[in-house]
Amino acid sequence: MHQNHKLTVTDGIVILLFAIAATWFCAGFYYPDPYAFHRFGEGLVLLLVWAARIVTPLVSGGILFIYIMVRTGRLSSTKALLMAGSTLASLLLLYPVGSFVYSRNNNIEQKIKYYHPYLQLTPPLPKQTSADSSGIHIFCLGGSTTEYADKKGGGWVGRTEKLLRERTGRTDVVVHNLGRQWFTSLHTLINYETNLRHYKPRLIIVMHAINDLLQNADHSYLSHGPFREDYGHFYGPVTRLILNKGFLREVFGSMRLWYSTPRETIETHEFPGLVSFERNLSTLLDLAQKDGTAVALMTQPTLLKDTMSLQEQRVLHMVAVETYGPKKKWSYATASRGMKAYNNCTKNVAKTRGVTLIDLAQAVPQTLDYFWDDVHYNETTYTFISEFVVSELLRQNVLDHLLKNTPPDKHSRSP
């Protein structure tokens, strides 16, 4: 039978100090990092934040309760230590479970198969049975805004092929989707020379901007050193493979749900990567024109504007994740200026080199009706893009020369 004791003045001071510290600790979860909401998703972050806001006061209250029980003699120190030890052991047992779930959800082993030692991600190849066959082969090169499709699996590239066949009456028009997420103009240049050039396509359509623009944000979590003209500072999609922090550091270090530090917002009009971008496009043109391959350069549409509504800001992902670093971030206006600068560079290269320009950026309205994030399209936008691309190819007589120099065989003309 334990003898009950009264709390001493020292106990009161300890309880007060603990209560102050616990209040300060719990309050930290009311200042999560805005980056986390974009990086991990608003739903997951809110769930974790509110769980922390509820659990931490309960745990703090429980610790205080046990302390008071021990100090007043209602609970033995031995039992309190056993309770603490049991709790710690339970947490240690939960760690491998959490690590396993984390690994499963991240699907690292599955993602590794897409790794390419030179291009970071393995590029797609032309359609298996048709790239080296007769006909009018058009290669569409770019990043995810070329690669991605709608929920039914159809992108603007596939729709473009269908429309071209309908409007030219030629079933031997084959449009190949050779875009790959994360690819920049440098990825495309290397990929074209290494994997695609020998197919001698009749026309290539090239669209780049956003991925090259993001190379300039050399303060970001994806960059590791100052800007390099060969983009060697930017780890991009392989960042987590190279910098594997482990379960605890990845979850608790990346989430930053507790007392986040405001970042410096960068306002700039200078984008050193434009030099590389122009050079990459020009070199790609050199290769294509040496082979007699026609080229159409296409500007990239975007939701980014100098002034954006709160609703538009909430859907941004690329700028809100890939231009964020531990201490700095780009303003939305900087990203908007950058997109304009890169699209203007595309226009200038097309004009200087005398190749076709498809000004898609001016055609697609900058609204949430057309975009679900910075540059990626809603369902109806794919049809809009394909119709615009085909109309421009026909309006600028890009296909006339191709059609005349590729006589149809008896199976390639629609009845």
* 76 and 136 co-located in one domain: no
Q: Which residues contact 126 (CB under 8 A, 6 or more apart)?
A: 137, 139, 176, 178, 196, 199
Confidence of residue 179 (pLDDT cuts 50, 70, 90): very high
Model confidence, pTM: 0.85
More confident: 73 or 197? 197
What pLDDT does residue 140 have?
Answer: 98
Among 111, 145, 160, which residue terminates a domain? 111
pLDDT at 175: 96
**Taking all residues of the chain, what is their mean pLDDT, rounded to a whole number?**
88
187: in domain:
yes
> Does residue 132 have a pLDDT over 60?
no
pLDDT of residue 375: 96
My answer on whether 98 and 205 are in the same domain is no
Residue 414 · residue 169 · CB < 8 Å: yes
Please indicate, yes or no, whether residues 184 and 45 belong to a single structural domain of this protein: no
Neighbouring-strand partners of residue 223: 234
Do 100 and 141 share a domain, yes or no? Answer: no
pLDDT for 108 equals 65
At residue 27's C-alpha, the angle toward residues 22 and 29, to 5°, is: 115
Are 34 and 134 members of one domain? no
pLDDT-above-70 percentage for the chain:
89
- Residue 84 within any structural domain of the chain: yes
Q: Considering the domain boundaries, does residue 410 fall inside one?
A: no
The string of pLDDT tens digits covering residues 313-333 is: 989 989 988 999 989 999 999
Same domain, 139 and 220: yes
As for how many domains the chain has, the answer is 2
For position 129, what pLDDT does the model report? 54
Mean pLDDT of 83-100: 78
Residue finishing a domain among 111, 145, 164: 111
How confident is the model over 354-370, as a mean pLDDT? Answer: 97
Question: What is the arithmetic mean of pLDDT over 387-395?
Answer: 97
Please name the residues in contact with 187: beta carbons below 8 A apart, sequence gap of 6 or more: 119, 120, 123, 180
Q: Which of 25-29, 258-262, 291-295, 396-400 is the least confident region?
A: 258-262
Q: Within a domain: residue 415?
A: no
Q: Are strands 120-121 and 173-177 parallel, antiparallel or unpaired?
A: unpaired
- Clarify whether residues 105 and 168 are in a common domain: no
| 132 and 238 co-located in one domain | yes
**Same-domain status, 77 and 210:** no
Domain of 294: which CATH number? 3.40.50.1110
Which pair of structure tokens corresponds to residue 204?
A: 């290539």
Q: Report the range out of 77-86, 199-208, 237-246, 319-328 with the highest average pLDDT.
A: 199-208
In a domain, 374, yes or no: yes
CA distance linking residue 14 with residue 20, whole number of Å? 10
Of 62, 85, 111, the residue that ends a domain is 111
pLDDT at residue number 151: 84
pLDDT of residue 80: 82
71 and 158 housed in the same domain: no
> Looking at the DSSP assignment, which residues form a beta bridge with residue 120?
116
Alpha-carbon distance of 211 to 224, in angstroms, equals: 16
Residue 117: inside a domain: no
Asked if the structure places residue 4 within a domain, the reply is no
Residue 119 lies in a domain: no
Residues 152 and 32 in one domain: no
**Do 155 and 247 fall into the same domain?**
yes
List, in sequence order, the alpha helices (H) in 28-135.
34-40, 42-71, 77-106, 108-112
Most confident of 5-19, 214-228, 248-262: 214-228
Q: pLDDT at position 295, please?
A: 98
Pull the structure tokens for residue 182: 């994360």
Domain that holds residue 79: 9-111
